[in-house]
Every structure is written in C-alpha cells, then in structure tokens.
Amino acid sequence: MTPAPPAGTIHIAGKHVSRLGFGTMRLTGAGIWGWPGDRPAALNVLRQAVHTHGITHIDTAAAYGPHTVEHLIHEALHPYPQNVLVATKVGMLRPGPNKWKPHGHPDYLRACVEASLRRLGVEQLDLCYLHRIDPQIPPAEQFGAMNDLQEEGKIGHIGLSKVTAEHIGAASREFTVAAVQNVLNMTDHDDPTVELCRDWDIPYVPYRPLNAGTLTATHGVLAPLHWLLNLGDHIAPIPSTTKPQHLDQIVAAASEA
C-alpha cells in the first residue's frame, strides 16, 4: 500500500508531490564535502523517505559533495517512481569544505546541467534551480542560459534559490518560475518573497526549515513545521536528516500539522 503523502500534496514542476519534501544536503561528509561516513545509512534514509513515508519531493544540488549526493540519489532510487520529483541546483563552485562560490557563467551552467543529467541518470531534469545569482555576471545572462537549456529540453522546469522579489520579477521575463527556494523558519522569518509567491502562485520551498536543528532542540519538530505549513498552501518545506528515527519524527509532525 502506498503511504499517504505527509502534509498533503502540492503541485510543483508539473507533478503533485508531497508538501513535505526531503532535503539531501546532509548526506555528505563534514563540511558538505565528499561521501558520507556511512554510505549504506545515507542510501537507506533516501529509500525510507520515498518508499516508507511517501515523500515524493527530493531536493538536492550539484554542489552537495560536490556531486556525491546526486550519485547517492541515483543509486538509492533509480529508476525513479513516476510520481517522484527530483529537484537539483546548478551554478555553485565548491573550493573546499564549507566553502561556496556562486558561478553563473552560461558555459558553466550548461556544463553543470549536462553533468547532473548523467549523475542522476535522466534525459531531463524535472526541476533545476539556479543555485545562486552570481553578482559578477548580469542576471539576465544567467536567466537566459537557464531558459536556453529549458528550450533544448534538458530542463523541464526552472526554479530560483536565495533570491529577492526583484530577481523573481526579472527572471519571470525570461521563463516561468516553477519554484522559489529561500531560507525560512521561525528564526529567519522575514522574507517578502513568501507573499509574492503566494500572489503569483509560485511554490515556495523553504530550506533550513528547522534551522539546522536548533529549532528542534528548543521547540521540538512539530511547532516549527506547523508554523511553516500554516503560512499558506504554497509552502513546501524540505527538512534534512541522516537519521531514520529523526525522519520518522519529522514525518509524524508534518502529518499532525
């Protein structure tokens, strides 16, 4: 029997997926670098998310590892169930552990997309975010590159990550923004794009919904997720964990919220 999707469903990138997604950034080594210390456990928690709990929105990025998490997702879940959305991100360099550098040159974005297609084992990325706006390159060039990749069929839908309302407006002149992914939680709660996305019918995917575990320590799991989900039906959080027991708690809390 297919489990009920946690917290109901939401329409993202042409699919009805669980409102509660699963973020995969922690499925690496220290500093979001390299392979996880316990690779079988990482594979297990991915399978548990989809096959045990009915989570059908998996969020990752080429920069996680870098590259290692996309390999893990392929190993754990490929061939992907038809109802599962695997979203990835491109446009970030990783000079070393805990180091991140936006790089939005069109040639680099293209190379990232091509590599993610190979690692994930697909002909088209269901949903691909521009991971960051590179301040050294005109945003229009970065948006144009993503639009070109979509027109070529290599990207199905395009999202934006860590952006302002102005970025969303500018990008919308090049393509339909399929989702926005910004940090949002009970501590970091001031983001005007939440209202914009509601008004424009854009799914809003809050990353760091439990504030890297600090909110769980003080409020438990239910209160932070309940706070987010009550902001609107367009909210689809993507908490991350490496522990099956913690994932059980997150899913239970989302189902109660």
Which CATH superfamily includes the segment(s) 9-256?
NADP-dependent oxidoreductase domain (3.20.20.100)
Choosing from 64, 80, 129, 207, which is the catalytic residue? 64
Residue pair 193/168 in contact (Cβ under 8 Å)? The answer is yes
Does the annotation count 64 as an active-site position?
yes
pLDDT tens sequence across 77-106:
999 999 999 999 999 999 999 999 999 999
Q: Which two tokens stand for residue 123?
A: 């002909």
Task: Tell me, yes or no, if the pTM score tops 0.95.
Answer: yes
pLDDT tens sequence across 211-246:
876 778 788 899 999 999 999 999 999 999 999 999
Average pLDDT over residues 112-136: 98
What is the predicted pLDDT for the residue at 1? 62
Residue 45 has pLDDT above 90, yes or no: yes
What is the predicted pLDDT for the residue at 80? 98
Residue pair 60/21 in contact (Cβ under 8 Å)? The answer is no
Cβ-based burial of 115 (10 A; exposed 0-12, middle 13-18, buried ≥19): middle
Distances (CA, A) of 67 to 33, 81, 92, 154, 174: 9, 22, 11, 18, 28
Alpha-carbon distance of 246 to 230, in angstroms, equals 22
Q: Which two tokens stand for residue 184?
A: 């949002």
Orientation of helix 139-151 relative to helix 106-120, angle to 10°: 40
Q: DSSP 3-state assignment of 240? A: strand
Alpha-carbon distance of 207 to 124, in angstroms, equals 24
Alpha-carbon distance of 197 to 183, in angstroms, equals 14
pLDDT classification of 3: cutoffs 50, 70, 90 = confident
Give the residue from 128, 18, 157 showing the smallest Cα distance to 70. 128
pLDDT tens sequence across 128-169:
999 999 999 999 999 999 999 999 999 999 999 999 999 999
